[in-house]
Structure 1
Amino acid sequence: MWNRPRFDLKVRLTLRVAAISAACFAAISAYFLVTADRAAHARSDSIAAIVAKSLELQQGKVQWVANPRSDFPNLDPVAAYVMTPGLCLAFRGPGGDMLQRFCSGAPAPANPPPQAFAAFYRSLFDPGREAARPVVVRGTKLGETVVSVDPAVQTAEAWHEAGRLMLALAIALPLLCVLVYAALARALRPTRMIRTGLERIAANDLTTRLPPFDLAELSAIRDVFNHLAQSLDTALAERSELTRKLIALQDEERRHLARELHDEFGQSLAAIRALASSARQTAAQECPSLLSECDGISRTATGMMETLRGALFRLRPPDVEELGLVASLEGLVAGWNGRSRGETRFSIRFDGAFETLPAAVSANLYRIVQEALTNAAKHAGATKVSLELTMRPDEIALAIDDDGRSNEPAAKSGMGLLGMRERVAALRGRLSFEAGPNGGSALRVVIPLEASDRQLLDHAA
């Protein structure tokens, strides 16, 4: 599955607001440009209408005054009132010839528009378009007035208006983004608390609860979160209690089996050894050829008794409550070193005082170490196994490292690891099993200490 890039929600929403704002500014700019173009054409049309009306009055005055001078058309009187920079007035005769034309000059703009804007504006609005009005006197069309504006002047005016909007956008948009980001950061601040709560839940801290929030949506999440945490806490407590009972029953079955083996099978082996010894004495006097068979029976019985002794030790180890956790673990490690005959070297180190550790914690830690050593020696084929047990203010940490095969399936998913997980879960602890940094496997167990346990340890210290 591909990992999609993740973006901060505040940044994403701020960028969307910025994009929408920029689109709104663009729409407003387009509206102003269209409005300005229409206003320019409306002004040209109105000027053309005024000039046409003035010329019609001139022609009517010429016809009513005696000895009229033939100075029609005369644009000078009206030009003095309507001329603006870049404006051109003209009179086109019936034949299409320009009989008179006036154009006012336009100063060079201080900030000329960019060529790209000028080309874009001219392609959309056609600046400099002529506005024409007919001059009609007594039903006869004498010509028409033509009004136009220099395209460069109109484009410069449009750029001036657009520049003002762009300046407003350049100032308002960053300010808007900052305000939106700050508002979102404040509104989404509870999400950090939700994330912290989820991380604590993932770390098995099921006592985590979220406080009330102002937003209704976050309050709904808070209610679901707290209900889920409460349900998980209750379920884990019930599971831990059931696991403790199962472990206690398992230990009781082991003790019962150990007693049965010791009382029945052990006595039978002792009897076999005694009979073999008696048979050897008889054979030495009457049938020397049976001495080797008697010695074989005695050796076999002795080997079976050694095997039985090891099985009894694993089924019912020395009482941790009487010997203490440290002495019991040291004896366990020494036993493994003796049985391995140098093939696997076991070492253990303690950091802290474990004398007053609660019996349940001590017994489970002993069983966890016992299962871990069995996995390392039998399944992973390790030649070196190191154990370290550390007492911390609020927890106990167990670290077991070996140089065996870390990808051995039995070492990761066997019954031994399952039993360790059950015991760790019963103590509300954490267990991790993974490949070591330098090869082999690394087992990490962390058992939290309850408040009463810590007080007992502090009092003993």
Structure 2
Amino acid sequence: MSEVAVETAAPATSGPRWLLRALLTRVDLKTRLSLFIGLLLGVVLLLAVYAVLGNSKRAVQGEIDAVMRLATNLLDDQAIPAEATDQNLLPVLLSVFDHTRHLCVERGPADAAPNPRGCPAAIDDSVPDWFIAQVTTAPRELRIALPAQGGERRPVIVRSDPADEILEAWNEARPLLLLIVAIGFLTNAIVVFSVWRALKPIDLIRDALSGIGRGELHPGLPKATTPELKTIIDGVVELGLNLEQARSDNQRLLRHSLEVQERERRAIARELHDEIGQSLAAMDAEAALLHQKVGSAIPELSVRTQGIRAGIATLYDGLHLLLARLRPAGLDEFGLGPTLESLVADWSGRCPQIRFEVRIEIERIAGESLVQVYLYRIAQEALINATRHARARRISVMLCEDVNRAVHLRISDDGCGLPAALRFNDAAEARRRAKPDGERIGLGLLGMIERAETLGASLAIDSLPGEGTTISLRLPQQDEA
């Protein structure tokens, strides 16, 4: 059985059509409509010019045909009487032709009175060459034999001379051509201006949609000038309202989730402190009592009881660190400022190779207690990232207020910096980058973003490779709790 090869034509990726399609995709609607209207008006303009030139050519042709028919009729051998073949009537007639428009007589070299203006005459210099080329017709001529002395006859040529008619046609066509060009350009300018003005709201709508993508849910929108634009503008407004409602619902759910998380952390911290902490304390007391009673009698048992107590102390230190992560001690009693100082002091003890700098200008943040908890969590996560991943030698923590009583929290280091995918100026930009494509934002940074959004604060990360990282948070003035 023979096989039949079926070849599928691949879509063309080059050629005039592909190039035209690629260019059109880069041209906006206003420019595309303006080009189309300009091209259409250009075609109409060319047709009008062609019509004027055609009329001029027909006028020149008609005049030349008429005068040549007249000359032919006058010089017809049958129309001239026999007695006119002498040297009287025919030379007079040719002399008349010399002074007739659109005709000229070319005599032989023996003629004593050649035509002074040339045959045919030169066309006036004011007439452009392109017009002459368009309206000039094929030359016409009549050849006759003029009687001469001695019974000889010498040839004489009567030629068509369109110079005057071409000049007249140009003087008549020039105002029309200028008027056509002026009307064409004026019409094109008016139409293009009208198109650009009518479609200008589309640019504002596009900017509004871009603003919505950046989180500006109430962008300035133009007034609707047509029913179609009114539908689009109403849709954009409704989209902004729906996104605002969705953002509000999301923030409310996020706030509730974080509140539940903090309550769970507090409950777990309380259980760990009450249950495990007390159990470790009881185990340590039993080991101490056992060592006191039998340790001196049995040296091996004394060593083991000391090891048990050391293990219990290690577990207790780990429990203390875990409790500090779950619920910062002293935050409700002393406020955010002293608690941050305690946090930095704790990290300084664990990381002696890093120099920590602290600048705390406020102790307690106005508002509900969760505000302080969220700010503490953001600073805590920033310090964890700086000490574990940045390879920093210096870390600074600043907490202060500006003249508008807005709270500023800044944690900076001189470490290796972050890649460009993890730098952002606002939470909306950070959320766009937290998508599966590309380099994802980690859970730590995502938690910082969520807490900043819940507080209504602005969070930004400024970093350059090899030049460190700065995490800045600005919290507007809070009402007193």
TM normalised by structure 2 equals: 0.71
Task: Give the AA of the match of 2:288.
Answer: S
Task: Name which of 41, 59, 65 aligns with 1:45.
Answer: 65
Cα gap change, 1:193 to 1:113, in 2 (>3 Å): closer
The aligned counterpart of 2:432 is none
Aligned-residue offset at 1:316: 0.8
Aligned-residue offset at 1:255: 1.0
- Structure 1 distance, partners of 2:166, 2:321, is 102
The answer to whether the Cα contact below 8 Å between 1:47 and 1:147 also exists between their aligned partners in 2 is: no
Q: Does 1:62 align with 2:81?
A: yes
Task: Name which of 213, 233, 245 aligns with 1:222.
Answer: 233
Task: Name which of 28, 36, 54 aligns with 2:56.
Answer: 36
Aligned-residue offset at 1:154: 7.5
Task: Name which of 464, 468, 471 aligns with 1:436.
Answer: 464
- Structure 1 distance, partners of 2:213, 2:72, is 86
- Structure 2 distance, partners of 1:62, 1:394, is 123
The answer to whether the Cα contact below 8 Å between 1:14 and 1:181 also exists between their aligned partners in 2 is: yes
Aligned-residue offset at 1:88: 3.3
Task: Name which of 419, 438, 449 aligns with 2:447.
Answer: 419
Aligned-residue offset at 1:435: 3.6
Consecutive unaligned residues of structure 2, counting only runs of 5 or more, are: 1-21, 108-113, 145-155, 423-438
Task: Give the AA of the match of 1:130.
Answer: P
The answer to whether the Cα contact below 8 Å between 2:48 and 2:180 also exists between their aligned partners in 1 is: no
Q: Does 1:302 align with 2:318?
A: no
Cα gap change, 1:277 to 1:353, in 2 (>3 Å): closer
Cα gap change, 1:211 to 1:279, in 2 (>3 Å): same
Aligned-residue offset at 1:199: 4.5
Task: Name which of 352, 362, 367 aligns with 2:377.
Answer: 367
Aligned-residue offset at 1:254: 0.8
- Structure 1 distance, partners of 2:343, 2:180, is 78
Task: Name which of 354, 360, 373 aligns with 1:344.
Answer: 354
The more displaced of 72-81 and 373-382 is 72-81
User: Which whole-Å deviations, capped at 9, do the CAs of 1:68-113 have from their partners, x for residues lacking one?
Assistant: 66445864486377414xx43689xxxxxxxxx9795446734464
Corresponding pairs, count: 424
The residue matched to 2:357 in structure 1 has which SS? Answer: strand
Task: Give the AA of the match of 1:88.
Answer: C
The answer to whether the Cα contact below 8 Å between 1:352 and 1:390 also exists between their aligned partners in 2 is: yes
Task: Give the AA of the match of 1:305.
Answer: Y
- Structure 2 distance, partners of 1:435, 1:305, is 38
- Structure 2 distance, partners of 1:432, 1:395, is 16
The aligned counterpart of 1:109 is 124
The residue matched to 2:338 in structure 1 has which SS? Answer: helix
The aligned counterpart of 1:141 is none
The aligned counterpart of 2:340 is 329
The aligned counterpart of 2:5 is none
- Structure 1 distance, partners of 2:31, 2:192, is 7
Cα gap change, 1:334 to 1:326, in 2 (>3 Å): same
The aligned counterpart of 2:242 is 231
> RMSD of the alignment, in Å?
4.6
Cα gap change, 1:128 to 1:404, in 2 (>3 Å): closer
The aligned counterpart of 1:79 is 97
- Structure 1 distance, partners of 2:320, 2:98, is 128
The answer to whether the Cα contact below 8 Å between 1:380 and 1:405 also exists between their aligned partners in 2 is: yes
User: Which whole-Å deviations, capped at 9, do the CAs of 1:203-237 have from their partners, x for residues lacking one?
Assistant: 42324463541123322221111121111111111
The aligned counterpart of 1:94 is none
Cα gap change, 1:54 to 1:148, in 2 (>3 Å): same
Aligned-residue offset at 1:281: 1.7
- Structure 2 distance, partners of 1:145, 1:20, is 49
- Structure 1 distance, partners of 2:237, 2:138, is 72
Cα gap change, 1:166 to 1:349, in 2 (>3 Å): farther
The residue matched to 2:296 in structure 1 has which SS? Answer: helix
The residue matched to 1:286 in structure 2 has which SS? Answer: coil
The aligned counterpart of 1:148 is 160
Cα gap change, 1:102 to 1:244, in 2 (>3 Å): same
The aligned counterpart of 1:273 is 284
Q: Does 1:130 align with 2:149?
A: no
The residue matched to 1:317 in structure 2 has which SS? Answer: coil
Task: Give the AA of the match of 1:62.
Answer: P
Consecutive unaligned residues of structure 1, counting only runs of 5 or more, are: 92-100, 136-143
- Structure 1 distance, partners of 2:375, 2:230, is 42
Cα gap change, 1:407 to 1:200, in 2 (>3 Å): closer
The residue matched to 1:386 in structure 2 has which SS? Answer: strand
- Structure 2 distance, partners of 1:79, 1:281, is 154
Same amino acid, percent of matched pairs: 30
The more displaced of 379-388 and 230-239 is 379-388
User: Which whole-Å deviations, capped at 9, do the CAs of 1:134-175 have from their partners, x for residues lacking one?
Assistant: 99xxxxxxxx99652368x78777877787677668866776
- Structure 1 distance, partners of 2:272, 2:257, is 22
Aligned-residue offset at 1:17: 4.8
